[in-house]
Structure 1
Amino acid sequence: MPHSPEEKKKVLARVRRIRGQCEGVERALESGADCAPVLQQIAAIRGAVNGLMSEVLEAHLREQFGEPASDAASRKARVDEMTALVRSYLR
């Protein structure tokens, strides 16, 4: 999770843009907009969410692996956690 004020501000701005995009899709669906622009907006949201996921995942990796593990068990636990996160991200 981004912890520095600058990183946190950047991530929150991204979340707010995504929220705005989702609200735009909601309005389009309520008004009966054509499918093509709605699908294009959904694709843009998916790209934005992937970017957000990538940014938060990178911050987490830096946090977890920026310092050496205290022992082999701790290292294994951290690697297992990262493997699970990456697998869930790639689904």
Structure 2
Amino acid sequence: MSHTHKGKKQLLTRIRRIKGQAAALEAALEQETECLAILQQIAAIRGAVNGLMSEVMEGHIREHLGAEDMSAEQRAEEVEQIATLLRSYLK
């Protein structure tokens, strides 16, 4: 079972909040809201996405890299995959 199944309800709550924030941003842009309010909304969305990424990443690292039955080769491959993902995410 994937680690995301364990916290599925909490993750879905976060995603729904992000969807709501994105909808509010869209509405603000359509209504030509002031730039500062739009920037604040973008910052809030970015923070929410970063929090989601952090939570899922932590679960992944604990579940997969923390597995005791993993060979050194499997662990090295997993580390490389996570490093690649982080490089992509942090661009």
TM-score (norm 2): 0.87
Judge conservation of contact 2:25–2:41 (CA < 8 Å) in 1.
yes
Cα root mean square deviation, aligned: 1.5
What corresponds to 1:8 in structure 2? 8
What corresponds to 1:87 in structure 2? 87
Aligned-pair distance for 1:34? 1.0
Aligned-pair distance for 1:69? 4.8
What is the alpha-carbon distance in structure 1 between the residues aligned to residue 53 and residue 71 of structure 2?
29
Higher relative contact order (CA 8 A, sep 6+): 1
What corresponds to 1:78 in structure 2? 78
Percent identity for Structure 1 against Structure 2: 52
**Unmatched segments (≥5 aa) in structure 1:** none
Aligned-pair distance for 1:30? 0.7
Q: Bigger CA drift: 54-63 or 67-76?
A: 67-76
Correspondence 1:34 to 2:25: no
Number of paired residues? 89
Aligned-pair distance for 1:89? 2.8
Q: Bigger CA drift: 17-26 or 77-86?
A: 77-86
Judge conservation of contact 1:21–1:41 (CA < 8 Å) in 2.
yes
Q: Bigger CA drift: 75-84 or 44-53?
A: 75-84
| Letter paired with 1:47 | G
Aligned-pair distance for 1:72? 2.7
Aligned-pair distance for 1:86? 2.3
| Letter paired with 2:35 | C
